[in-house]
């Protein structure tokens, strides 16, 4: 059983530990955050909370039943009923359906609690697992793009009560 928890100030230490533990794992398929992200983490965390308070983003931790961080899943650039979805799951939690379930849960939250109607997401072309998570959750490819000098895809999904539109 997993839960999504809206990012709070007291999540800082657990989130930083999660990001550090999984840095190399993430860098295999998504652009690395860089050393400055880790060196300036307290300020970055405060900035994320300020964005969330302003209503332009919603940041969530993916937690297991014991409260350990399995990943994170976010809605950014919220405007006019749309947002971009982003997520990352730690190496130890991959292959267990965590990303698929978290994306499904966040799509439902996006429609019901945040009144969003459309989500977009991007992934690198070589991140087949992420592409599978998105397509299994009703996202479709709408464009090719370049993501930090790597070929990628943009996905989109229309929301209706948290389910894909028919």
Instruction: Count CB-CB contacts under 10 A for residue 125.
Output: 14
Q: What is the pLDDT along the chain (166 residues), one digit of tens a residue?
A: 899 999 999 999 999 999 999 999 888 777 778 888 899 999 999 999 999 999 999 999 999 999 999 999 999 999 999 999 999 999 999 999 999 999 999 999 999 999 999 999 999 898 899 999 999 999 999 999 998 788 999 999 999 754 444 4
Contacts of 78 (CB under 8 A, 6+ apart): 55, 56, 57, 58, 114, 116
CATH fold label, 3-164: Aminopeptidase (3.40.630)
CB count in 10 Å sphere of residue 81: 14
Quick one: CA torsion of 54, 55, 57, 58, rounded to 10 degrees?
120
- pLDDT reported for residue 49: 97
pLDDT of residue 80: 96
Task: Report whether 130 contacts 86 (CB < 8 A).
Answer: no
pLDDT at 162: 43
Determine the pLDDT at residue 15.
95
- Please tell me the predicted confidence (pLDDT) of residue 39: 92
Output phi, psi for 102, to 5 deg: -65, -40
pLDDT at position 144 is 96
Report pLDDT for 27: 80
């Amino acid at each position: 059983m997993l839960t999504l928890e809206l990012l709070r100030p007291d999540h800082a230490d657990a989130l930083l530990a999660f990001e550090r533990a999984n840095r190399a794992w993430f860098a295999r398929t998504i652009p690395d955050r860089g050393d400055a992200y880790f060196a300036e983490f307290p300020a970055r965390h405060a900035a994320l909370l300020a964005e969330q308070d302003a209503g332009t983003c919603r940041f969530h931790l993916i937690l297991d039943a014991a409260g350990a961080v399995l990943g994170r899943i976010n809605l950014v650039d919220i405007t006019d009923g749309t947002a971009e979805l982003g997520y990352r799951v730690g190496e130890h939690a991959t292959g267990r359906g965590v990303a698929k379930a978290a994306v499904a849960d966040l799509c439902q939250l996006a429609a019901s609690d945040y009144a969003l109607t459309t989500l977009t997401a991007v992934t690198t072309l070589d991140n087949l697992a992420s592409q599978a998570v998105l397509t299994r959750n009703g996202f479709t490819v709408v464009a090719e793009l370049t993501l930090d000098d790597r070929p990628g895809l943009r996905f989109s999904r229309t929301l209706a009560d948290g389910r894909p539109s028919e």
